[in-house]
Amino acid sequence: MNRTDFLRTLAGSSLAVGALADFAFAETSSGILLETAPFKQAPLPYDFAALEPSIDKLTMEIHYGKHHAAYVKNLNDAVKGTEYEKKTLEEIVKTAGKAPAAIRNNGGGHWNHTFFWEVMGAGKGGVPKGAVADAINAQFGSFDKFKEAFGKAATTRFGSGWAWLTAKDGKLAISSTANQDNPIMDIAEVKGTPILGLDVWEHAYYLHYQNKRADYIAAFWNVVNWDKVAENLKKA
């Protein structure tokens, strides 16, 4: 169901006002993931300069405004007139192994970036607390050991791709995927619900860090939104 259909369904209902206020359908990442074509970007949840100095303003402007926007446009072009035009973004991504390459790649790119923007934030970083800290300590021994393992997955991903922290059956796992694949895809080697992800495509860091991917990964910890990670873990 897209935003228009959703609003029509609610029209005249006594629940309309409350549902619109609570769901914020087209303005949240969860709403974006549940919409069908034409797909669109959720608004960036902070200013382009908000993540400086860890991630610079120009990189964010290009990354969100050019790269992510291109995935959305290309996905809309690819699904037009096909069965995928009626599928939600989440449905497309979960069955990506059966989809044409253009739909798999651009659908993954849209999903991954929508997720990525929300696990970062201004004035964030630090160390996780509560359930996230407990889960990390139980699985990896300590936060420092987790950072080392996650950093290794991100650093050693050859070429372009992503590093992930996922939850499945009460356990956490670290993995990486090539290109715009992710752990909810049917073709993922390590499947699970992503609770944290890091884009290691060169366009995510090259303007500021050039070939120093490790420096970009180290800076990422300064902007991780652990509150959002905790929310993701709770839903996993």
**pLDDT, tens digit, 9 for 90 and up, residues 176-193:** 999 999 999 999 999 999
On the question of pLDDT at 21 being above 70, the answer is no
Please report the pLDDT score of residue 32 as a whole number: 82
Residues of the chain above pLDDT 70, percent: 87
**pLDDT, tens digit, 9 for 90 and up, residues 30-79:** 778 889 999 999 999 999 999 999 999 999 999 999 999 999 999 999 99
Please report the pLDDT score of residue 28 as a whole number: 56
Bridge partners, residue 164, by sequence: 175, 197
CATH code of the region 130-235? 3.55.40.20
**pLDDT, tens digit, 9 for 90 and up, residues 194-236:** 999 999 999 999 999 999 999 999 999 999 999 999 999 999 9
Which residue numbers belong to the known binding site for Mn(2+)? 63, 113, 199, 203
For the chain, what are the domain ranges? 57-119, 130-235
Residue 4 vs residue 92, higher pLDDT: 92
Q: Token pair for residue 8?
A: 């029509």
Angle between helices 3-10 and 16-23 (to 10 degrees): 150
Backbone dihedral region of 170: left (phi > 0), alpha (psi from -120 to 50 degrees) or beta?
Answer: left
CATH code of the region 57-119? 1.10.287.990
Strands of 80-202, DSSP E? 161-168, 171-178, 193-199
The overall average pLDDT reported for the chain is: 90
Which residue numbers belong to the known binding site? 63, 113, 199, 203
